Structure 1
Amino acid sequence: MEYKVFCTLIITLMLGYNVLTQGVFETCNMTPQERKNCGWSGITEKECQERNCCFDSNIRGYPWCFSPRQEIEDNEC
């Protein structure tokens, strides 16, 4: 009995999460001023990507490993 309740709860949570995040996507395209640090000094590109973060080492003085920005997809005609 407990197994069925647990499975039902997991499925419900997964479906709820899917509905809440529908139309939301993440992008690494942002200005350097918008970057929020997602790593530490000396983090490698691979380590950054393993944390599901963006990596761009081209701009000094701003985080190279940073959190992606979430945007809401506009489906209006």
Structure 2
Amino acid sequence: MQDVSYTHVKLADYILTEDPELLIGNETVIRIYNNLKNQKEYVTHKDIILCLIQKIEQESDSGKQDVYLEALEYVVYRTPDDDIA
């Protein structure tokens, strides 16, 4: 089993357990978090950002791109940094 130090505690899990109100109202972020959580044991803030960037780059529908961009802005500006103590 992999040993995970506190600095590597996954921020998305922290947000959902410590301050779930940060994600209320942004269903796109919640959906992406849940999809990532199904694929891996820990989901980081950076995992969510990377997934959103990939979705923006791959999406051809400008309306959906806007939704993903809004979600990306939400994650970047409304969530704390990875190195919280």
TM-score in terms of structure 2 length? 0.24
Structure holding more strand per residue: 1
TM-score in terms of structure 1 length? 0.26
